[in-house]
Amino acid sequence: MPHAGRTRLKRLAVGGVLAGCLVGAGAVSLAAVGQVAQRVTQKGRAFAPGAVALNAGEKVEIVNDDGELVHHAYLDHPDFNFDIGEQAPGSRSVVAFPTKGSFTVLCGIHPKMKLAVTVK
């Protein structure tokens, strides 16, 4: 029954979206759903702040504010990973952290750059 299978998948997808909204509405943060919970800059070959704490599902904006340096933030963890690619000076990327845990975001160009992210 291919048709019934498709309908079921659609219902699951809608349920996931609704659950996401409920989690956002219950958060203590004043940030509305879809807004950025934290801003992290990259300047002087360092993330600032060097550590952030989030609730699951919140987003971090990662800004390259480092003159003429290119950065490349990524996270490689069995539970959650992302790679925003090379980031030109002045550019911004937003990353959502849906998974609880302790993570370290690194820069593919500057190995000493580390951003600790705790997701509760």
Positions that interact with Cu ion (CB under 5 A): 71, 107, 109-110, 113
Q: By C-beta, is 100 or 110 nearer to Cu ion?
A: 110
CB-nearest residue to Cu ion: 107
Half-sphere exposure of 60 (CA within 13 A, CB side): 29
E strands, 1-120, where? Answer: 36-43, 46-48, 51-54, 59-64, 73-76, 81-83, 92-96, 101-107, 114-119
User: Least distance (Å) from Cu ion to the CB of residue 114?
Assistant: 10
User: Least distance (Å) from Cu ion to the CB of residue 45?
Assistant: 6
Q: Could you tell me the sign of the dihedral formed by the alpha carbons of 48, 52, 57, 58, in that order?
A: negative
